[in-house]
Structures are given as C-alpha cells and as structure tokens.
C-alpha cells in the first residue's frame, strides 16, 4: 500500500511534529505524546482531557483548544495511550478546579484512564471520568466490554468543553457530559477495510460489491455483511438501528461522519438521505455537522450520530469553539 509516511515506527511522532508546526496555539510534546492548550491551566476552569489511539484524526488532538478539550493524549495507531501520558496531561491543565477524563469505551482506554485517575489523585488532582458508549451496532465487540465509543465523543467533548469554559464546576461539567452521552446513539458502515501503517495491507477482507453494517472505528466487525446498498438504503438501515434504541423526544444534533476515505460529495449526499429519513420519522433536527471527524485511517464509509438536546445543551453546542478540527463563533 502507498502511504505518505517515512517509516511506520515514527508515524505518530512525525504527525505530532507537523501538528506543532501548523498550530502554534497548542503546546505539542512530541516525546511524551501530549497536546495541551497553550494557555493552560486556565484559572478556575475545569480541565478536560481525552485521548485514544492515533488514526482517528481530528479526534482527539484536533479538538484541543478554547471551547473544547484542554489536552489530549494520542497513543500509537489504534493503541491506547499509557497512564503516564494522561497524568502528565492532567497536571498540565489542572488549575485546582479538577479534571474530567473523557474516555471512549475500549478496554485499553478504560483500564489506562482508570489507572491514570488514581495516580493523578495521588498527586492531589481531583479527577472525574465519563465513559462514551454510544454505538448501537453491537455489544461486547473486539476490544470492548459493552458498547463502543464512537461519534458521540465529539458531542461530549464540545458540549462539556463549553460548560467548562463558562467556569461551571467539575460536578456540573461531568453531569453534562454524562447527559450528552446518554442522549446520543451512533451507527457506522464500512465500504472498504482499513490499512494500518504497521501492517501495510487491509486488516480485514471486504470483497468488492459488499459492505459491513455496524462497524467500529478500528475496523471491528459489525452486525452483518450485505451486498452494496444505495446511500438511501444505508441511511434507512443506520437510522432504523439508532431510532429503535433512542426515540427522540427533543430535537437532535446530527453528525454525518466520514471514516477517512469518503469524499464530502458522498457525505453530503448521504446527509440528504439522513435528513429524509428523519423527516419521515418526525424527528426535528436542530443542527447538522458533516465531515471527517472521528475517522479510521483510510477506511471508506460513514457513521451517523444523533444527540437529542434541550435548550441548555443546544446553547452549549452553539458556544464558540476554536480548535484545529472544529471552530465557529470566534
């Protein structure tokens, strides 16, 4: 496979060096693999720390900045960061108001963030944790006990980040993050397999003319494999699964997320089908975001995430944000 890299062993370090050169508003520690807001710690502000394996960019490092994360810990490709990274990040952003860890539900991430929370508390840092587990496709998949954390991570990081920037206390920021997760559901589809730099070839076999419904962001298997479907048929299947699990009582935020190799032309067309299905089901849409945000390297495909919101959550979603991967209102 052709890749724009030097060698697989330095992919993450090289990307972090490039990120530092592009974004001087961030402090990028290449050696320790920690990305921090340059103005951290902000007095009186709860620090938000997240992280996970690299390969899902702009998640998480691309969401560091005003209105979102205070710091992120990128692991190696599809590999959890280690507790030392998380403790270093927590110490860098703690102003005395506490730190919230936002953790996607993958076994390595959960174990390492749990250990990091204990170590950080030993250093006098107050830590709370929120687990993101929004994927309705399967339960107890590869790497996961329970549901996987996917697209709702963006909603949690943005809305909790806005609450933290307002100076809300740790207990309230944690409660808001939990509310967002509890009101979010996702479903993804793969049109092609993913190729990691270390392997250099597709990590699973997906024959021409077939797709995988319900995949995870590491290429984990989904609910079923089918012959290729139209955009409208995929939207019908994905939203049937989502709405079966979460019948919205309030308007929803919609994320139509590319998995990394699907062009915007296709994503916007898919978004039109998503809106068609939601209109047919009587679901009011408050806001829509389309693009590549929670990716899986070079996988072709898309995911849909819905988050039902009340007036406060919508206000926090609309609040200004300025990060490499998401920005408005500033």
Catalytic residue set: 56, 218
CA distances from 198 to 6, 13, 79, 144 (A): 12, 14, 12, 22
d(CA 180, CA 219): 25
Place of tokens 């995430």: 305
Pairing status of strand 127-132 against strand 184-190: unpaired
CB 82 within 8 A of CB 55: no
- Reported in sequence order, the residue ranges of 191-284 that DSSP labels E, i.e. its strands, are 210-213, 224-227, 252-258
d(CA 328, CA 330): 6
CB 304 within 8 A of CB 243: no
- Here the tokens at position 171 are 């207990």
The number of residues making up the chain comes to: 330
DSSP string, 166-210: TT--HHHHHHHHHHHHHTEEEEEEESS--B-TTT-SBSS---TTE
- Here the tokens at position 54 are 């690299």
Geometric angle at alpha carbon 101, from 100 and 103, rounded to 5°: 145
Place of tokens 């139509």: 256
Number of H helices, E strands in the chain: 8, 14
List strands edge to edge, sheet with 301-308. Answer: 224-227, 210-213, 184-190, 301-308, 252-258, 285-291
């Amino acid at each position: 496979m052709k890749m724009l890299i030097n060698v697989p062993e330095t992919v993450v370090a090289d990307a972090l060096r490039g990120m530092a050169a592009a974004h001087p508003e961030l402090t990028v520690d290449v050696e320790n693999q920690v990305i921090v807001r340059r103005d951290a710690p902000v007095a009186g502000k709860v620090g938000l720390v997240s992280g996970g394996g690299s390969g899902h960019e702009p998640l998480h490092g691309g969401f560091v900045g005003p209105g979102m994360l205070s710091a992120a810990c990128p692991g190696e490709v599809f590999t959890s960061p280690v507790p030392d990274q998380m403790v270093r990040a927590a110490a860098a952003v703690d102003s005395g108001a506490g730190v919230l860890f936002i953790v996607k539900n993958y076994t390595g991430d959960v174990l390492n963030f749990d250990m990091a929370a204990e170590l950080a508390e030993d250093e006098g840092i107050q830590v709370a944790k929120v687990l993101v587990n929004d994927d309705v496709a399967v339960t107890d998949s590869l790497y996961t006990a329970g549901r996987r954390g996917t697209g709702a991570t963006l909603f949690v990081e943005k809305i909790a980040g806005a609450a933290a920037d307002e100076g809300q206390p740790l207990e309230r920021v944690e409660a808001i993050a939990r509310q967002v997760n509890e009101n979010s559901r996702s479903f993804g589809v793969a049109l092609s397999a993913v190729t990691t730099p270390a392997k250099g070839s597709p990590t699973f076999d997906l024959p021409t003319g077939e797709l995988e419904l319900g995949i995870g962001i590491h290429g984990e298997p989904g609910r079923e494999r089918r012959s290729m479907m139209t955009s409208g048929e995929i939207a019908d299947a994905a939203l049937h699964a989502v709405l079966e699990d979460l019948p919205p009582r309030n308007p929803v935020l919609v994320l139509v997320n590319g998995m990394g190799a699907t062009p915007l032309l296709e994503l916007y067309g898919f978004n039109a089908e998503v809106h068609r299905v939601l209109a047919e089901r009587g679901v009011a849409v408050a806001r829509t975001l389309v693009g590549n945000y929670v990716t899986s390297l070079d996988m072709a495909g898309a995911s849909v995430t819905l988050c039902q919101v009340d007036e406060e959550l919508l206000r926090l979603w609309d609040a200004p944000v300025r990060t490499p991967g998401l920005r408005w209102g500033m």
